[in-house]
Structure formats: structure tokens, C-alpha cells
Amino acid sequence: MSLLTSKPKGTADVLPGESEKIVFMENKLRECAALYGFCELRTPVFEHTELFQRGVGETTDVVQKEMYTFEDNGRRSITLRPEGTAGTVRAFLEHGLFNEPLPQKYFYLTSCYRYEKPQAGRLREFHQFGVEALGAGSPAEDAEIISLAKHIFDLFGVEKLRLEINSIGCPVCRKSFQAALRDYFTSYKDKLCETCLTRLEKNPMRILDCKSPVCGEIAKGAPRVLDYLCAECEDHFAQVKKYLTVMGIDFTVNPTIVRGLDYYTKTVFEFVSDAIGAQGTVCGGGRYDGLVGELGGVPLPACGFGMGIERLKLLLEAQETEFPPPDRVQLYLAPANAAYSFEAMRLCETLRSEGVSAQTDVAGRSLKAQMKYANKLSARFTLVLGEDEISTHLAKVKNMDTGEEKEVSLDRLAGDFLKILLSAQLGDIPAADAEEIKLTLLNGGKNTWNV
């Protein structure tokens, strides 16, 4: 296997046919974000390693085992972002965005990098849609972001998805919970995996998140965080549940969810599907009231979620969601011989400047081979440029779906062709009205034309 023709393990190429699906999903995600008032924030692919060590947490799997960390030529330790929250909060602090009206609500659509064992729904380069609401402490915000995630799933018609929520408390109640966990797990010291033994010292709550079956089995009998919540956290959780209930959002409380990143406090949640195998968590998030302060800012409450784009796509494919068909070439211009290629290229220019997708021969093919190619492209219309067409400036546009032909003037090709496109789309329309009609439907609504 040549390294020159094989991608690194755990990465994916998105080929035409698939990329349109991703773009369709991304567009919908952007629309949903806008509906809830979240604005896009873009951060670099790499950050100082310290940001993730501090932000994600030293005892997490992500920091301990999964980061792509390297020294750059300036001898700085750099890490490819394993998640989007730390960078978002860093940018929020760096640009003084805490001076803007709060909450600041951001979304991102980015690649993330984790050195993991690749399998279905688990890649080393993957993509997340994430939202973060910074400066919002009310349980209403927890409910709002959960509602946004649910809105996305509803919009895509996702069925059979469970929303599981939990509260993991704040540093105050976490202390007594961690102590109870330490007591409990200490009695299983000889059975825990090696990583969990370090966790037992540093952060016993992380043991609950261990993927080893033995540790998982032991964790089943562990103390439950909900029994240790302080009054404030308990009230916060009760209110989140109340908001969700009045908003008509079904949920179950799953006291075993602790999430894999250290910054979470109070509410945590996951949207889980059974339809896509072992990697069933499509979206995970919660409140992280400690992170802004941890990264050196004034303590500000915040919450957000990350949604895996690849897992969302697997989910849509598992339920056979229909994606819109790819855009078709609207007009393929076929010069009957090489001498007419100049005119074909000129006409393509005029068509494209009017927003009509047009193609012509760029491979020096015979007319027959060109028509075969146009068919493979599923061009909607074709036009042959031969001697007659060149001399009379009149040509026939052929509808490849119906076989119907209509005459056009090469001197007014864009206008004439747009009318043909329009009537193919809307049926015959009176010429007088055509003047008034804006073509928003054609070309997927990307342009409007006055015909």
C-alpha cells in the first residue's frame, strides 16, 4: 500500500455525491443556529497545548490519550483541537467578548482531532457542530440549548432518539460525591484498570466514564451523583426538568452520565440512538460554569453541546432520509468540431455570468463522445454548435428528459435559455408575465433573475 495513495487511518475523504449531503446538513444546522440566535465563531485548528490541558482537564481520556500534540519549529507545544469549547472560550476571553451583552451565543462547525481506535462513527478527524452560550446561568439556557439540539433532530426527521439528562453538581457538592466514590472504588482497587487507579487518586468521577468492561461493571454499584447534589444544584436540575416538561421535550434521567470532559458542572445531557451501533451518542453537552474562570476570565456561567456530524449522517442514512438530489448541469454546449470550441467557450461565459450552470467540451472529444459525457453528467439541456448554428446564430436546445427541442438565438442565449428553463419548471407562461417573474427556483434559489 502506497502512502502516496492512502489516507491516514481514521480520516475520511468526502467525495462528490456525499459532499452535497454534508453541505445540505450544514446549511440546515446554520439555519437552526440562527433560529435560536447563535452566531458563528471560527477558531484555529490548532491551539497552545496548555489550553486543552487546562480546559478539557488533565485526567480526561481526551488529554491523556487522544490529543494530536507536536512541537512546532518555534518549539511551542501545539495541539490540534480535540473539541470546540476550549477554543471558543479562549477567543471569548482574548477578544473581551464578555464586555458585549450577555449571554453571547456562538456556534461552530469544525473539524476535531482525536487519536482513537477508528471504527464506525469514531474517526481521528471528525466534525462537530457545536453551540456555546456564555454568560447564561439560568436553567432556561440549559433547556434552550437542549431544545436547539432537539429542533435539529426533528428537522431532519430523526426518530427513536433518547434524550438522557443528569446533573453532576458543582465543585461544592462534587467534593462529597468524589469522596464517596473514592471510598467505594478503593474497595475494588485490585480489579480496576491502571488508568482508573490514577483516576482514583486524582479524579474518581472519571472512573464512571471508563470504557473497560470490568471498571464499567464495578461502576454500576457506585454512589449516584444525584444523591449528593447541594440545594442549589438540586434546584437548578429541578428547574431544567420543569422547563423541558413545559416545552414538551421528553427526557429520561440517567444518573450514570458524567461526560468525558472535566469542565462540566450541573446539567449534562446526551442524545443517544440505538440505530448506529456502539457509537450511539450523537450529541453531548451540558453546563460548564467553571471553564471561563479556569481559563483566567471572570467566572461566568456557560453551557453548550457538541454534535458529531459523521454520527448524525450515519443516523440519517440508517433511517434512509432522502437528501435533495445534486444540482444538475443546466446546459451542455457541444461544439461539432474543434473550430467551434471558441464560440462554445464564449457562450458558456455569458451563460455563467447570468447564473446558468453551463459546460462545454474541454477534452477535445468528438460530438458523439461529448453527448455521452453530457448524459453521464445528467445535463438537463444540450445544444449542438455546428456549421448552421454558427452561420445563422440560431440553435436548438434539447430537453434531455423529454427529448423536446426549442429554438434559441445565440445572440440572446442566456435570456432565451432562461425562458426555456422557466417553462420547464413552471409550465408554459405568457410571455408578458415572464418579464416579471423572478427565477428563484432555478439553480436551487442561488440567484434571482429578471427574465
**369/373 Cα distance (integer angstroms):** 6
Kindly tell me which residue out of 116, 343, 354, 405 binds ligand ATP, with binding defined by CB under 6 A: 116
Q: How many CB atoms lie within 10 A of CB 412?
A: 13
Binding segment for ligand ATP among 22-30, 175-183, 228-236, 305-313 (CB under 6 A)? 305-313
Taking CB under 6 A as the criterion, which residues in 308-337 touch ligand ATP?
308, 310-311
**φ, ψ for residue 139, nearest 5 deg:** -60, -15
Q: Which is nearer to ligand ATP, 121 or 135 (CB)?
A: 121
The answer to whether residue 282 forms part of the interface with ligand ATP (CB under 6 A) is: yes
The residue among 313, 297, 334, 343 whose CA lies nearest residue 97 is: 297
Q: Which letter does DSSP use for residue 66 in this model?
A: I
CB of 402 to ligand ATP, least distance (A): 44
CB of 162 to ligand ATP, least distance (A): 13
Q: Which letter does DSSP use for residue 101 in this model?
A: S
Residues in the interface with ligand ATP (CB under 6 A) total 19
Q: Which letter does DSSP use for residue 451 in this model?
A: -
CA 149 distance to own-chain centroid: 12
Binding segment for ligand ATP among 89-97, 119-127, 160-168, 432-440 (CB under 6 A)? 119-127
The answer to whether residue 400 forms part of the interface with ligand ATP (CB under 6 A) is: no
DSSP code string of 240-289: HHHHHHHTT---EE-TT---SSTT-EEEEEEEEESTTTT--EEEEEEE-T
Kindly tell me which residue out of 47, 80, 83, 301 binds ligand ATP, with binding defined by CB under 6 A: 83
Q: SS3 for 118?
A: coil
Kindly tell me which residue out of 306, 334, 395, 416 binds ligand ATP, with binding defined by CB under 6 A: 306
Q: Which is nearer to ligand ATP, 9 or 412 (CB)?
A: 9
Q: Which is nearer to ligand ATP, 228 or 263 (CB)?
A: 263
Taking CB under 6 A as the criterion, which residues in 223-252 touch ligand ATP?
none
Q: Which ranges in 45-84 belong to alpha helices (H)?
A: 49-56, 61
CB of 256 to ligand ATP, least distance (A): 12
∠ Cα 298 34 27 (to 5°): 125
CB of 120 to ligand ATP, least distance (A): 10
Contact 179, 149 (CB under 8 A): no
Contact 419, 435 (CB under 8 A): no
The answer to whether residue 64 forms part of the interface with ligand ATP (CB under 6 A) is: no
CB of 27 to ligand ATP, least distance (A): 19
Residue 342: all three cell numbers together: 471558441
Q: Which is nearer to ligand ATP, 58 or 388 (CB)?
A: 58
The residue among 61, 121, 82 whose CA lies nearest residue 280 is: 121
Binding segment for ligand ATP among 114-122, 164-172, 236-244, 355-363 (CB under 6 A)? 114-122
Residue 310: all three cell numbers together: 459523521
CB of 292 to ligand ATP, least distance (A): 19
Closest residue to ligand ATP: CB criterion: 308
The answer to whether residue 88 forms part of the interface with ligand ATP (CB under 6 A) is: no
Kindly tell me which residue out of 28, 122, 162, 182 binds ligand ATP, with binding defined by CB under 6 A: 122
The answer to whether residue 340 forms part of the interface with ligand ATP (CB under 6 A) is: no
Taking CB under 6 A as the criterion, which residues in 259-278 touch ligand ATP?
260-261
User: Can you tell me which residue has the cell 448506529?
Assistant: 276
CA 102 distance to own-chain centroid: 25
Instruction: Kindly list the distances between the CA atom of residue 271 and the CA atoms of 37, 159, 305, 317, in Å, as whole numbers in the listed order.
Output: 22, 11, 10, 17
Q: Which is nearer to ligand ATP, 311 or 380 (CB)?
A: 311
The answer to whether residue 90 forms part of the interface with ligand ATP (CB under 6 A) is: no
Contact 316, 156 (CB under 8 A): yes
**201/187 Cα distance (integer angstroms):** 13
Element (H, E) at 18: none
The answer to whether residue 163 forms part of the interface with ligand ATP (CB under 6 A) is: no
CB of 70 to ligand ATP, least distance (A): 19
Kindly tell me which residue out of 126, 129, 153, 228 binds ligand ATP, with binding defined by CB under 6 A: 126
CB of 282 to ligand ATP, least distance (A): 5
DSSP code string of 313-365: HHHHHHTTPPPPPPPPPSEEEEESSGGGHHHHHHHHHHHHHTT--EEE--S--
Q: Which is nearer to ligand ATP, 195 or 330 (CB)?
A: 195
Strand partners, 252: 164
Instruction: Please give the residue ranges that form the binding site for ligand ATP (CB under 6 A).
Output: 83, 114, 116, 121-123, 126, 128, 260-261, 279, 281-284, 306, 308, 310-311
